[in-house]
Amino acid sequence: MKKYDVIIIGAGPAGIITGTTAKMNHPEKSMLMIREEENGLVPCGIPYIFHSLGDVDKNKMGPRPFIDAGGEVITDPVVSIQAEDNTLSLKSGKTIEYGKLVMATGSVPTVPEFIPGHELENVFYIRKSYQYIRQLFDVLKQSKNIVVIGGGFIGAEVAEQLAQEKGKNVSLVEMEKYCFMRAFSPELSEIATTELARNHVNIYTSTKVESVEGENGKVKSVRLSSGESLEADAVIMAIGYKPNTELTRDTGLNLNRMGAIVVDNYERTNIKDICAVGDCSQTIGFLTGNLDNIMLASTATAEARVLGYNLFGIRIKKCFIGTLAVFSTKINGMAMAASGLNETNAAEANVDFVSAKFTDVDRHPGTFKDTSPLSVKLYVSPSDGHILGGETWGGCSAGEIINIISLAIQKGVTVYELISYQIGTHPLLTAAPTKAVLIKAAEMVISKLKR
Ligand X SMILES: Cc1cc2nc3c(=O)[nH]c(=O)nc-3n(C[C@H](O)[C@H](O)[C@H](O)COP(=O)(O)OP(=O)(O)OC[C@H]3O[C@@H](n4cnc5c(N)ncnc54)[C@H](O)[C@@H]3O)c2cc1C
Give 46 or 446: the residue with its C-beta nearer to ligand X: 46
* Closer of 108 and 378 to ligand X (Cβ): 108
Closest distance of CB 215 from ligand X, Å: 29
Quick one: CA dihedral 42, 395, 344, 443, positive or negative?
A: positive
Cβ proximity to ligand X: between 30 and 298 the closer is 298
* Least distance between ligand X and beta carbon 162 (Å): 13
**293 Cβ neighbours under 8 A, 6+ residues apart:** 243, 258, 260, 282, 283
| Shortest Å distance, C-beta 127 to ligand X | 8
Which residues are bridge partners to 379 per DSSP?
355, 389
Query: Where is 68: in which H helix or E strand?
Result: helix 64-68
Cβ 45 to ligand X shortest distance, Å: 8
Q: Which is nearer to ligand X, 42 or 361 (CB)?
A: 42
247 vs 361, which CB is nearer to ligand X?
Answer: 247
Rounded to a whole number of angstroms, the minimum distance from the CB of residue 101 to ligand X is 12
Rounded to the nearest whole angstrom, what is the least distance from the CB of residue 348 to ligand X in the complex? 22
Min separation Cβ 397 and ligand X, Å: 17
Strands 209-215 and 218-224: antiparallel
Q: Are 123 and 235 in contact (CB under 8 A)?
A: yes
Q: Determine whether 451 is exposed, middle or buried from the number of CB atoms within 10 Å of its CB (0-12, 13-18, 19+).
A: exposed
* Residue 67 CA to its chain's centroid (Å): 25
Q: Under the rule (CB under 6 A), what is the footprint of ligand X? A: 9-15, 34-36, 40, 43-44, 46-47, 77-78, 104-107, 126, 128, 154, 244, 247, 278-279, 295-298, 300
Nearer Cβ to ligand X (138/384): 138
- At position 203, the amino acid (one-letter code) is I
List C-alpha distances in Å: 311 to 244, 320, 406.
Answer: 22, 18, 26
Between 62 and 116, name the residue whose CB sits nearer to ligand X: 62
> 213 to each of 123, 142, 231, 393, how far by Cα in Å?
11, 19, 9, 38
Torsion of CA 405, 289, 17, 404, to 10 degrees: 0
DSSP structural state of residue 406: H
For the CB of residue 228, give the shortest distance to ligand X in the complex, in Å.
Answer: 27
What is each CA distance from 14 to 256, 267, 276, 359, in whole angstroms? 20, 11, 9, 36
334-340: strand order across its sheet: 326-331, 334-340, 387-394, 373-380, 354-361
Minimum Å gap between C-beta 244 and ligand X is: 5
Contact at 8 Å (CB) between 239 and 150? yes
3-state secondary structure of 210: strand
CB of 105 to ligand X, least distance (A): 4
Using the minimum distance from each CB to ligand X, give the nearer residue, 78 or 136. 78
Nearer of residues 222 and 300 to ligand X, judged by Cβ: 300
Nearer Cβ to ligand X, position 105 or 430?
105
CA dihedral 240, 146, 207, 238 (to 10 degrees): 0
